[in-house]
């Protein structure tokens, strides 16, 4: 059971956190692994804070509750840092991936976490605005997550993105997303 990885996503509705949670899970599935992805459901209002969860494991996953002790926390909206303790219950040697213009050192201070915690930052919103032209930072932040944690391989993720987005979106949107992913992978700092 030690290979189970639990990720908690903090975001505002409309930023694509649920899609991100599923992208990670489905990429893991494409590698033949087991996974779960689910949002914490409540009234759905664009801009309202929400949590989502991803579990990835090499063996079948049988627990079905919310994730309270994640190894990885991903924050898609830095204004949430003033509203909730995003690292609550996180593993002592956990990892935080933050969508912000802050440096990792500034983010670490803001989060108030120990040196054992890995803190990585990427301006996913800036990248999304420059590439997709909308503030939907979900695909770039997954690229950052992949680079920092290795929970899913980057190449597998890009391949999965091409496949799933290929069914839904125009080539222009797919290319913009691929560009955002590439930039985030290169620009994430820790």
Partner 1 sequence: MAERAEQKIVSATGNMMVTEAFRQADPDVVCAYPITPQTTIVEGFAKCVANGQVHTEFVTVESEHSSMSACIGSAQAGARTFTATSSQGLAYMYEELPIAAGMRLPIVMANANRAISAPINIHCDHSDVMGARDTGWLLFFAEDAQEAYDNTMIAIRTAEDKDVQLPVMTTLDGFITTHAMERAELMNDEAAKEFLGERTPLFPLLDTENPIAAGMFADQDSYFELHKALRDAVTASKPVIKRIGDEWAELSGRPFDFVDAWGCDDADYIIVVLGSAAGNARHQARLLREKGVKAGVARIRVFRPFPYEELVAALHGAKAVAVLDRSENFGGEYGPVGLEVATALYNAKETIPLKNYMFGLGGHDVTLEQMEQVYEDLEKLAAGTIDGSIEYLGNR
Q: Which residues bind partner 1 (CB under 8 A)?
A: 1, 22, 25-26, 29, 34-39, 41, 60-66, 68
Please identify, using beta-carbon distances, which residue of 10 and 22 lies nearer to partner 1: 22
116 burial (CB, 10 Å; 0-12 / 13-18 / 19+) is exposed
Nearer to partner 1, 23 or 176 (CB): 23
CB of 60 to partner 1, least distance (A): 8
Locus of tokens 């803001």:
110
Tokens 């802050």 correspond to what residue? 102
Are residues 27 and 181 in contact, defined by beta-carbon separation less than 8 angstroms? no
Taking the complex as a whole, the smallest distance from the CB of residue 48 to partner 1 amounts, in Å, to 15
**Distance from chain centroid for Cα 33:** 18
- Nearest distance in Å: CB 188, partner 1: 26
The distance of closest approach from Cβ of residue 44 to partner 1 in the complex, given in angstroms and rounded to an integer, is 10
Smaller CB distance to partner 1: residue 38 or 173? 38
Residue closer to partner 1, measured from CB, 21 or 188: 21
- Quote the CA–CA distance of 103 and 91 in Å, as a whole number: 22
CA distance 53 to 173: 26
């Amino acid at each position: 059971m030690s290979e189970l990885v639990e990720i908690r996503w903090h975001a505002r509705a409309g930023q694509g956190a649920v899609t991100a949670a599923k992208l990670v899970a489905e990429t893991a599935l494409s590698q033949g692994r087991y996974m779960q992805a689910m949002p914490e459901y409540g009234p759905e209002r664009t801009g309202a804070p929400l949590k989502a969860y991803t579990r990835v494991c090499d063996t079948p996953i049988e627990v079905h509750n919310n994730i309270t002790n994640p190894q990885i926390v991903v924050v898609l909206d830095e204004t949430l840092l003033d509203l909730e303790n995003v690292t609550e219950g996180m593993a002592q040697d956990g990892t935080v991936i933050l969508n912000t213009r802050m440096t990792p050192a500034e983010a670490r201070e803001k989060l108030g976490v120990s040196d054992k915690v890995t803190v990585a930052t990427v301006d996913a919103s800036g990248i999304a605005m420059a590439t997709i032209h909308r503030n939907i930072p979900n695909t770039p932040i997954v690229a950052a997550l992949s680079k920092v944690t290795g929970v899913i391989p980057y190449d597998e993720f890009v391949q999965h993105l091409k496949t799933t987005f290929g069914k839904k979106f125009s080539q222009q949107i797919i290319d913009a997303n691929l560009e955002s992913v590439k930039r985030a992978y290169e620009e994430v700092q820790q």
